A and B are shown apart, each in its own frame.
Chain A
Amino acid sequence: DAKTTQPNSMESNEEEPVHLPCNHSTISGTDYIHWYRQLPSQGPEYVIHGLTSNVNNRMASLAIAEDRKSSTLILHRATLRDAAVYYCILRSLASGAGSYQLTFGKGTKLSVIP
Chain B
Amino acid sequence: EAGVTQFPSHSVIEKGQTVTLRCDPISGHDNLYWYRRVMGKEIKFLLHFVKESKQDESGMPNNRFLAERTGGTYSTLKVQPAELEDSGVYFCASSLRQGLNTGELFFGEGSRLTVL
Q: Out of A46, A91, A106, name the residue touching B106 (CB < 8 Å).
A: A46
Measured between alpha carbons, how far is A93 from B33 in the docked complex, in Å?
Answer: 17
Interface size class of B (residues with CB under 8 A): 20 to 34
Flag if B109 contacts A99 (CB, 8 Å): no
Residues of A within 8 A of B (CB-CB), count: 22
Tell me whether B56 and A46 are in contact (CB under 8 A): no
Q: Which residues of B in the span 57-72 have a Cβ within 8 Å of any Cβ on A?
A: 58-59
Residues on B with beta carbons closer than 8 Å to the beta carbon of A102:
35, 43, 45, 105
Structural contact, A100 and B98, CB atoms closer than 8 A: yes
Residue of A43, A102, A105 with most partner-chain B CB within 10 A: A43
B2 at the A/B interface (Cβ < 8 Å)? no
- A96 → chain B, closest Cβ, in Å? 8
